[in-house]
A and B are shown apart, each in its own frame.
Chain A
């Protein structure tokens, strides 16, 4: 009985002693990928660079859009002009030596084959991306598809 009340007393003292510090000094820490930066401010730009030209990347998963093995800094993809098509359009690849646009891009969303690249495929960088030396924002345990290893 005495030990029990002593323990209770100790527990109460401990709780009372720790409670205010918990409440005041340790607010719950919630942090997004932006860190604590308020929405009306910007984080300093991370100094990540697009990688220089290299050989074609292997694919990591089935149906992965091929990655861009060169920099695309300053490339215009506008209503007026598509810089990618300057080299990757079929009629340009003989001179440029670039990879041809896949024939899957000649199909509209209804599955109808067209005689030219489908408008829905115009914005190349929606799917195909250049690689940078940036560090992953979160831990990643992704493994390449077994059939592609």
Chain B
């Protein structure tokens, strides 16, 4: 009886064993393949993402190369005594992953305007300069000039080494909770027309808020 039973169970047990081994093999290989594909896709995605985060990519369209890039080349963020250069994405693309992806998705709108040719000539660009600048100022104000602070932070500034104007104003600004972009506008590109209340009123000029009355940006974390 027992012998008989054993005789009947043996092939069944073997089949079960083979089935488990097969399922196990399938599962592990699926996971393995998914893992490898994950590396490939994620790596590829990040590589492409980083490729779009280079100066070479930014100035591959003439809107950037012929307008803003030329202006930036005359500034300290392009060339300076220590040879540290801040390229386009250092200031215009957040370093943190989620804000970076959000900014990249927003940038798809720029592709549309590239196709429409909204800023395809210097004249068209200058007509839009105020709006473009204000977008960027608003973004910087909102994130407490995060891209500036990736390199420049109030807390690591040595006021004794700064010029006296900078040292005094920076400390006042710090105490008022102001952020870099409140004062440092147009440091890398030419400014749009700004109403300074000198001479005749300017046509279509931007009215900048009085810095001394600027509400503080989000407190530094």
Chain A residues packing against B (C-beta within 8 Å): 52-53, 70-71, 73-74, 76, 78-82, 85-86, 89, 91, 94-97, 116-119, 122
Contact A96 B169, beta carbon cutoff 8 Å: yes
Give the dominant DSSP class at B's interface.
loop
Contact B196 A76, beta carbon cutoff 8 Å: no
Contact B197 A80, beta carbon cutoff 8 Å: no
Query: Quick check: is B193 within 8 A (CB to CB) of the other chain?
Result: yes
Give the CA-CA distance A86 to B152 in the complex, in Å. Answer: 22
Give the CA-CA distance A71 to B187 in the complex, in Å. Answer: 15
Contact A80 B199, beta carbon cutoff 8 Å: no
Chain B residues packing against A (C-beta within 8 Å): 74-76, 163-166, 168-169, 186-187, 190-194, 196-200, 205, 211-212
Contact A89 B163, beta carbon cutoff 8 Å: no
Q: Collect the chain A residues with CB atoms within 8 Å of residue B193's CB.
A: 79-81
Q: Collect the chain B residues with CB atoms within 8 Å of residue A94's CB.
A: 212
Tell which of B163, B191, B211, B212 touches A78, judged by Cβ atoms closer than 8 Å.
Answer: B191
Q: Collect the chain B residues with CB atoms within 8 Å of residue A82's CB.
A: 196, 198
Contact B190 A116, beta carbon cutoff 8 Å: no
Q: Collect the chain B residues with CB atoms within 8 Å of residue A117's CB.
A: 198-199
Contact A52 B191, beta carbon cutoff 8 Å: no
Known: A81-B194, A85-B196, A119-B200. 5 other contacts (CB 8 A): A53-B166, A70-B165, A78-B190, A80-B205, A81-B193
Contact B168 A76, beta carbon cutoff 8 Å: no
Tell which of B76, B191, B197, B200 touches A76, judged by Cβ atoms closer than 8 Å.
Answer: B191
Give the CA-CA distance A89 to B194 in the complex, in Å. Answer: 14
Contact A81 B163, beta carbon cutoff 8 Å: no
Contact A81 B186, beta carbon cutoff 8 Å: yes
Give the CA-CA distance A70 to B190 in the complex, in Å. Answer: 22
Contact B211 A122, beta carbon cutoff 8 Å: no
Contact B163 A70, beta carbon cutoff 8 Å: yes
Give the CA-CA distance A141 to B102 in the complex, in Å. Answer: 65
